[in-house]
Amino acid sequence: MKKLFYSLSIVVLLASCTGNDDPEVIIEPPVDTVLEGTISTDRTLTQDKIWEISGRVIVANGAKLTIEPGTIIKAYAGTGTQASALIIARGAKIDAQGTASAPIIFTSSADNVTIGQTTGTNLSENDRGLWGGLIILGYAPGSFKGDVTEVQIEGVPATDTNGLFGGDDAADNSGILKYISIRHGGAELSPDNEINGLTLGAVGSGTVIDNIEVVANVDDGIEFFGGSVNASNLVVWSAGDDGLDIDQAYSGTITNSVVILGTASDHALEIDGPEGSLEGQFTIDGLTLIGNETTERGEYADYRSSAMGTTKNVLAYGFKADSDVELDNDGVAANYTAGKLSFTNWQIVLPEGVSTSASIFADKSDVGSTFGADAATFSSDVTSSSKTTGADMSGFTWTMADIKNALE
Return per-residue pLDDT of the chain as tens, 408 residues.
Answer: 344 333 333 333 333 444 455 556 655 556 689 999 999 999 999 999 999 999 999 999 999 999 999 999 999 997 677 789 999 999 999 999 999 999 999 999 999 999 999 999 999 999 999 999 999 999 999 999 999 999 999 878 888 899 999 999 999 999 999 999 999 999 977 666 789 999 999 999 999 999 999 999 999 999 999 999 999 999 999 999 999 999 999 999 999 999 999 999 999 999 999 999 999 999 999 999 999 987 778 999 999 999 999 999 999 999 999 999 999 999 999 999 999 999 999 999 999 999 999 999 999 999 999 999 999 999 999 999 999 999 999 999 999 999 999 997
**Is residue 286 within 8 Å of residue 389, measured between CB atoms?**
yes
Nearest to 384 by CA among 355, 360, 349: 349
**Given the DSSP bridges, would you call strands 188-190 and 325-327 parallel, antiparallel or unpaired?**
unpaired
**Is residue 210 within 8 Å of residue 234, measured between CB atoms?**
no
Q: Which residues of 55-69 are buried (b: 16+ CB within 10 A; e: fewer)?
A: bbbbbbeebbbbbbb
Task: Name residues whose C-beta falls within 8 Å of residue 296's C-beta, 6 or more positions apart in sequence.
Answer: none
- CB-based burial of residue 386 (10 Å sphere; 0-12 exposed, 13-18 middle, 19+ buried)? exposed
The distance from CA 148 to its chain's CA centroid, rounded to whole angstroms, is 25
Q: Three-state SS for 291? A: coil
